[in-house]
Amino acid sequence: MNWLSRITPPGVSKMFSKRDTPENLWVKCPISGEMVFHKDLEAGLYVTPAGHHMRIGPALRFAYTFDAKWEEIPSPEVARDPLKFKDDKPYSNRIASARKKTGREDAMAIAVGRVQGVETTVVVQDFAFMGGSLGMAAGEAFLKACETAVERRTPLVMFAAAGGARMQEGALSLMQMPRTTLGVEMLKDAKLPYIVVLTDPTTGGVTASYAMLGDVHIAEPGALIGFAGPRVIEQTIREKLPEGFQRSEYLLEKGMVDKVVHRRDLPKTLGNILRTLLKRPVAATTTAPVAVEPEIETDKAAE
């Protein structure tokens, strides 16, 4: 407390208190270092002027992908903290904190709606929920999305974003890799398209399972896609990796992804691919996306 505060009569300081300023009024672009006004960022679908695609959650994904309205599908319930895991704090506390932060039960959200006129089941992996890690709940949600697509005879579009398997669930987490693969097989048996959109970052066991089993693989620009992170690889092989290694554009050049698409063009691209695979005519009209409240996580350099 400074000397001016000590001599100011009680109540007077409150009359001249500083106006509160939202913490996210300006967002720094990780590429250029430019400060971007949040309203401009929101209008640009959370893509900075330098082209950096910032991480977004399920609500914005659904709003940007579907033509207008969509129906959210509840995910199955699973056992909480099956191993009673504890490191520096209990796993149950970590789950509670992630649920409070995101407002969701776990890392995956499912919805059904129309994409450029094609009824589609969409499942989104939320990196803000414990790094989008694959655990029992996420595995069950993915299978639920596959079952929903088969029941409703719709294609499935998967927006992948994850740091890998959830270590707090041990082998139960690793078991989700073959289980989700069975879900993809369900779609193939039903002759329904499965499209994967790889976003930043998609790594670990997710890349080693359902994220690379699509009929078509699309990536957002600059997304980190791989199994182990570049830092781990460099430390293991003791060599400097090529420029842009494991980024969308590098993987497109090497044939691991089919197309790199800007976020604003994703709905149209998905619609064209789905209509082609389903042998359906071009939709007459579509409706503008629904506006939703921003839900954005400040990016940190992925390793």
Q: State the average pLDDT for the chain.
A: 89
Please give the pLDDT value at position 301. 41
Rg (alpha carbons) of the chain, rounded to whole number: 21
Residue at 17: amino acid letter: S
Q: Where in the chain is the domain with CATH 3.90.226.10?
A: 56-278
CA-to-CA separations, 129 to 12, 99, 108, 163, 213, in angstroms, rounded: 43, 7, 9, 11, 23
pLDDT at 300: 46
Q: Is the pLDDT of residue 119 over 80?
A: yes
Which residues, in sequence order, are CB contacts of 293 under 8 Å at separation 6+? Answer: 59
Q: Give, in order, the Cα–Cα distances in Å from 261 to each of 86, 95, 159.
A: 41, 33, 13
User: Residue 147 — pLDDT band, cuts 50, 70, 90?
Assistant: very high
pLDDT at res. 25: 87
Question: Burial of 156 by CB count in 10 Å (0-12 exposed, 13-18 middle, 19+ buried)?
Answer: buried
Return the CATH architecture of domain 56-278.
Alpha-Beta Complex (3.90)
Mean local confidence (pLDDT), 128-151 = 97
CA 44/CA 27 separation, integer angstroms = 13
Place of tokens 């996420």: 138
144: nearest Cα among 119, 112, 98: 112
User: pLDDT at residue 6 above 60?
Assistant: yes
Query: What is the percent of the chain where pLDDT is above 70?
Result: 85
Q: Residue 160: count other Cβ atoms within 10 Å of its Cβ.
A: 27
The SS3 assignment for 110 reads strand
- pLDDT class for 210, splitting at 50, 70, 90? very high
Alpha carbon dihedral 212, 214, 215, 217, in 10-degree steps, equals -60
Residue 180 structure tokens: 């989700």
Q: Is residue 134 scored above 90 in pLDDT?
A: yes
**Tokens representing 206?**
């997710």
| Token pair belonging to 187 | 């779609």
**No. of H helices and E strands in the chain?**
12, 9
Cα–Cα dist 120/112, whole Å: 6
For the whole model, what pTM was predicted? 0.85
Whether omega before 201 lies within 30 degrees of 0, making that bond cis, reads yes
